[in-house]
Chains A and B, each alone.
Chain A
Amino acid sequence: MSSVKAPLQKKSELPHGTRFSSTSVLAGNDVISFPDYPAEIRAPAGTLEGVSSFDLSFSSSEIYTTADYLEVLVAMNPAALKANIKDLEKGGILILNSDSFAENDLRKAKYKENPLETGELNEYRVVQIPITKLTLKAVEETGLSHRDGARCKNFFALGVVKWLFVRPLEQTQDWIEEKFKRPEIAKANSLALQAGYNYAITVELFHARYHVPAAVLPSGEYRQITGSQALALGCVAASCRSGLSLLYASYPITPASDILHELAQYKNFGVKTIQAEDEIAAISSSIGSAFGGALAVTGTSGPGLDLKSEAIGYAVMTELPVVVLNVQRGGPSTGLPTKAEQTDLLAAMYGRHGEAPVPVLAASTPGDCFYMVLEAFRLALKYMTPVIVLSDGGLANASEPWKIPDENQLPDLTPSFHTDPENFSPYQRNQQTLARNWAIPGTPGLEHRLGGLEKDSITGEISYEPENHERMVLLRDEKIKRIKNDLPPLEVIGPGKNKLLVVSWGSVYGSVFSAIEELQAERYPVSMLHLRHLNPFQQNLAKILNNFDKILVPEMNLGQLSRLLRAEFLVDTISFSKLQGRPFLISEIRSKVLELLGSK
């Protein structure tokens, strides 16, 4: 269920709220709305008394009341903000008209300091839009006066919100045609509506809503965190826990840019960020820094992952530790930059020429992004390998309450640089992990050369010898496979032997968990297994899969994990796909499970 509070300056403008609710009804949602406006017909705009609002809840399932908290609040001025902010949930979207936060506006709302500057809005996802200016620009062609033109700004805001919740514009446009007799007013409102919608697309506002499985949160200290923040914090934590200085090189790309924005702030943690000239340069700089002994990481999204594939192969060959964060979005090509998909799994697994195995991890929730980054660095440093972490556009922008970890409970990632010149070779390996020696420039007596050409398995010098190449291919493969021994066993949610197992990975965790929890409470014979390690798979996976009659794999792709499971374990998995840029609904998982159990 989602709830949104739209602004209303005056009672006469009520229809904007009703416009939204009626399109929601038409879109098949259950809708409850609660208009809230003052008794005065026209209380002075901008004062606390003059604030009107329209509270709306809509949901795909039955609802009985408006939601307790708002997920979105549109505040046209400081007064509207002050009056309604208490209802906005932590992490909720706060859309503000930045044109109405001048001193005068603040005074009218009795704000002593500008709330945009005091940090009091930090726990919300604040989206500042110069709504008045943009509206006036949008309606310019109609020749309306400044005053009349500015009145259209509610339609602009409505356009933004419509995009946010994927509502169609058509009905509202038809309604505008009917409602406003003066054609230039109708035209202006329609233009403002469209402009707001277009603005949201252009600045890539996200509509990602995250369904946290209903559970009683364990006691402790919490904060709100988005997936992007969690990835960034994970990088800084890994730097602190390894003693290595972090170097993040990245090229701006939606929806991964926020990681760069976050990390660029942490200079007092010794974090160095490079906004590279392109995707290839970004990963190349990361690998260069890894050669120098830095904690190397780069971030990107689908198209950038394609461009980085050659360099990832280089890191496989030179066996240098580098973490690649891939925030998946709709593809192929430019695809759906702001929507979530899980379509890069096979690219992460196999998207390189040659035999180039790479560990692949996937985060399940915004907060889990933090732990997956730490795990990625642990593996990268311990096994001297590039590691790919998969997030997605949904996780990146969604936020959830996050239990603040104890710094000292985080894994110790201190690497051991090789310093002994006695019989040194850069390709000598740890017999247990098969990781090669990491010797960094500045270490006397260990001068050596790395490169993408095949190396002799002992000396590390260039070698074109056929048997040596095969030996090296197998060594690199075996090294990644051995990571299996270093992973905790998987735990099945529900009975370990059952009729149906639902296997999930990545951000589908939320809806699958919610559905399974419901179904298990209703005593259906279904269990769940969630994978965070996708390469290598955990050791007990084969055994678990064999304990179920049927295996369902819901994914936001055409069955990529399903295919991997089939290939690796010879099991008859059933793929369940959704590719709409949106997560599965709980009800969709539920119906599919019931269908497979023959209970539908």
Chain B
Amino acid sequence: MNIPVKPLSSVPLTKADFVSDQTVRWCPGCGDYSILANVQKIMPELNIPKENIVFVSGIGCSSRFPYYMDTYGLHTLHGRAPAFATGLKVARPDLNVWLVTGDGDGLSIGGNQLLHMLRRNLDVNVLLFNNRIYGLTKGQYSPTSEQGKVTKSTPFGSPDMPLNPMLFALSAGATFIARTFDVDAKGMQEIFKEAAKHKGTSFVEIYQNCNIFNDGTFAPIYERSVREERILRLKHGEPFIFGKNRNKGIRLNGLKPEVVELGNGTNENDLLKHDQYSKDSTLANLLSSFDFPAFPVPMGVLRQVRNSIYGEIIEQQIKTQLEEKGEGKLTDLLRGTHVWTN
């Protein structure tokens, strides 16, 4: 995000300054609570006056988020938060805009809006809460639900193939993609701050547990006892190593990635290294496609590159036109090129 260098309007802010007076109405035990707390936690560190911050959301459980932030907020239409945010950010480039969406809101009904916002590289931060279910409508499968998933609307299993949010974002041209999970406070805070710093669309997928309609959907991946074996923590410049004993790694065999045990002639130098800033998206594509159980699930920043930013181009065009033509005069415009007198 483009952080305006502006003096704070009040004394240094604290987490409490970002807590609104609204009662949080998510189900007890929902993963959303922890995401909210960690967003509120990092907000003061951004050094942005809170009147310049706007949270925009669509429809769904996650999209209630803006009501709980004591900033400006816009709870919009199902799927359309990216379009609302686009108009807001283009009109007001000075604002720091966050977008909260879910797997249904962002990838199903709002797939088109999300796609085009990513393509344009609008300077906003996206938090996509992925719980692989429709919570607010009480338990239908979502576009990220596993094929065969039994839900109220699919008593014999979902026939749909799931969508991979990272690959979706990447193919739309996203300049910042990252993944984190709702029980990892430290990881979330790091990623949120990175996302806030990035200029252009920062797209963060958050694995989030819906303890009512899809309890434990990510437990096989991030449950504490198995986490280290099933998660690949990404750090720029470091080899892909994971496991409790840090004894496993990922290397390329031809064009195919494979999990290998370290030792017995295989060492760190044989492994793939993370290059978060690579202009070429091959590695990011590879990382995005890693899925449990064949591979550990990558957590962290998968890709971060610079590209032109939608709103900035519009501002630049206005500047250029003002230089070329001077400030428009309404009278001249109304008169047009050919005037006659009656």
Interface positions of A (Cβ within 8 A of B): 90, 119, 122-123, 217-225, 233, 236-237, 240, 245, 247, 249, 266-270, 272, 274, 276-278, 280-282, 284-294, 296, 310-311, 314, 401, 404-405, 407, 441-453, 461-462
Q: Is the CB of B116 within 8 A of A281?
A: yes
Given A293-B92, A452-B77, verify A285-B340 contact (CB < 8 Å).
no
Answer whether A405 and B334 are a contact pair too, CB < 8 Å, given A245-B91, A311-B77: yes
User: Considering only CB atoms, which chain A residue lies closest to B318 in the complex?
Assistant: A267
**Beta-carbon nearest neighbor of B56 in chain A:** A288
Asked if B338 and A223 make an inter-chain contact with CB atoms under 8 angstroms apart, the answer reads: yes
**Which listed residue (B86, B95, B335, B337) contacts A285, Cβ 8 A?**
B86
Whether A266 contacts B86 by the Cβ 8 Å rule is no
Rounded to whole Å, the gap between the CB of A449 and the closest CB of chain B is: 4
- Please state if A447 and B77 are interface contacts (CB–CB under 8 Å): no
For B333, list chain A residues within 8 Å (CB): 233, 236, 266, 269
Whether B290 sits at the interface, judged by CB under 8 Å, is no
Residues of B within 8 A of A (CB): 9-10, 20, 22, 49-54, 56, 59, 66-67, 69-77, 80, 82-92, 94-95, 112-113, 115-116, 314, 317-318, 320-322, 324-328, 330-331, 333-342
- Max chain A C-beta neighbours (<10 A), residue from B54, B94, B327: B54
Q: Which residues of B contact A294 (CB under 8 A)?
A: 87, 91-92
Residue of A nearest to B327 (CB): A268
Output the least CB separation between A280 and chain B (Å).
6
Are B95 and A441 in touch, CB under 8 angstroms? yes
Q: Are A288 and B342 closer than 8 Å at their CB atoms?
A: no
- Min CB–CB distance B3 → chain A (angstroms): 15
CA distance A57 to B169 in the complex (A): 60
Question: Is A285 within 8 A of B90, CB to CB?
Answer: yes
* Contact present for B314 and A123 (CB under 8 Å): no
B270 → chain A closest CB, angstroms: 44
User: Nearest Cβ distance between residue B53 and chain A, in whole angstroms?
Assistant: 8
- State in angstroms the CA–CA spacing of A291 and B340 once bound together: 42
The 30 listed contacts between A and B (C-beta, < 8 Å) are A90-B338, A221-B339, A223-B336, A223-B338, A223-B340, A225-B336, A233-B334, A267-B317, A267-B318, A267-B320, A269-B330, A272-B90, A274-B86, A274-B87, A277-B113, A277-B115, A284-B87, A285-B87, A288-B88, A289-B90, A289-B92, A291-B74, A296-B91, A441-B88, A444-B10, A444-B51, A446-B51, A447-B73, A451-B76, A461-B22
| Distance (whole angstroms) from the CB of A136 to the closest CB of chain B | 35
Give the contacting residue for A268; candidates B76, B91, B322, B339; CB below 8 A: B322
Q: How far is the CA of A449 from the CA of B18 in the complex (A)?
A: 13
| A220→B342 contact, CB < 8 A | yes
Q: Is the CB of A452 within 8 A of B76?
A: yes
Known: A249-B87, A288-B86, A451-B66. 6 other contacts (CB 8 A): A119-B337, A222-B342, A223-B340, A269-B333, A292-B92, A407-B331
Central interface residue in B72, B87, B326, B333, by most chain A CB within 10 Å: B87
- State whether B85 touches A288 (Cβ < 8 A): yes
| A445 and B51 contacting across the interface, CB-CB below 8 Å | yes
**Min CB–CB distance A91 → chain B (angstroms):** 10
Q: Which residues of B contact A276 (CB under 8 A)?
A: 83, 86, 116
Q: Which of B9, B91, B115, B116 is within 8 Å of A293, CB to CB?
A: B91
**Which residues on A sit within 8 Å (CB–CB) of B80?**
280-281, 284, 311
Residues of A within 8 A of B342 (CB): 217-222, 401
In the docked arrangement, what's the CA distance between A21 and B256, Å?
Answer: 73
Q: Pick the residue among A218, A236, A286, A289 that contacts B330 (CB under 8 A).
A: A236
B334 with A407: CB separation less than 8 A:
yes
Which of A401, A405, A441, A451 meets B52, CB within 8 Å? A441
Please, how many angstroms separate the alpha-carbon atoms of A552 and B91 in the complex? 46
In the complex formed, the residue of A with least CB distance to B92 is A292
| Cross-chain contact of B51 among A219, A407, A442, A450 (Cβ < 8 A) | A442
Question: Which residue, of A270, A442, A452, has the highest number of chain B Cβ atoms within 10 A?
Answer: A442
Q: Which among B52, B92, B95 has the highest number of chain A CB atoms within 10 Å? A: B92
Closest to B317 in A: A267
Q: Which of A247, A284, A291, A442 contacts B77 (CB 8 A)?
A: A284
Give min CB distance, B61 to chain A, whole Å: 14
Query: B322 — which chain A residues lie within 8 A by C-beta?
Result: 267-268
List, in ascending order, chain A residues with CB within 8 A of B54's CB: 291, 441
- Closest partner residue, chain A, to B316 (CB atom): A267
CB distance B84 to A288 under 8 Å? yes
Q: Which chain A positions have C-beta within 8 A of B92?
A: 289, 292-294, 441-442
Closest partner residue, chain B, to A220 (CB atom): B342
By CB atoms of chain A within 10 A, which of B9, B50, B76, B84 has the most?
Answer: B84
Q: Which residues of A lie under 8 Å from residue B50 when comparing CB positions?
A: 447
Q: Give CA–CA (A236, B331) in the complex, Å.
A: 11
Taking the closest CB of chain B, its distance from the CB of A92, in whole angstroms, is: 13
Which residue of chain A is the closest to B314 with respect to CB atoms? Answer: A272
Distance of A320 Cα from B51 Cα, bound (Å): 19
* B residues in contact with A224, CB < 8 Å: 336, 338
From B315, which residue of chain A is reached at the shortest CB distance?
A272
Find out whether the CB atom of B318 lies under 8 angstroms from the CB atom of A268: yes
Q: A294 to B92, alpha carbons, bound, how many Å?
A: 8
Task: Specify the chain A residue showing the minimal Cβ separation from B72.
Answer: A441
Chain B residues within an 8 Å CB radius of A444: 9-10, 49, 51
Q: In the assembly, what is the distance between CA of A225 and CA of B94, in Å? A: 37
B81 to chain A, nearest CB (A): 8
A289 and B339 contact, CB distance less than 8 A: no
Q: Which 8 residue pairs are nearest across A and B when measured between Cβ atoms? A: A451-B75, A285-B87, A288-B87, A284-B83, A288-B84, A449-B73, A269-B328, A281-B83
The reply to whether B112 and A277 contact each other, CB–CB distance below 8 Å, is: yes
Question: Which single residue of chain A is at the shortest CB-CB distance from B78?
Answer: A310
B339, A223: Cβ atoms under 8 Å? yes
Say yes or no: A449 contacts B75, CB within 8 Å.
Answer: yes
Question: Which residues in B have their C-beta under 8 angstroms from that of A221?
Answer: 335, 339-342
User: Is B56 a contact of A281 with CB atoms below 8 Å?
Assistant: no
CB-based contact A447/B71 at 8 Å:
yes
Write out the residue numbers on chain A whose beta carbons fall within 8 Å of the beta carbon of B69: 449
Q: For residue B327, which residues in chain A have a CB less than 8 angstroms away from its CB? A: 268-269
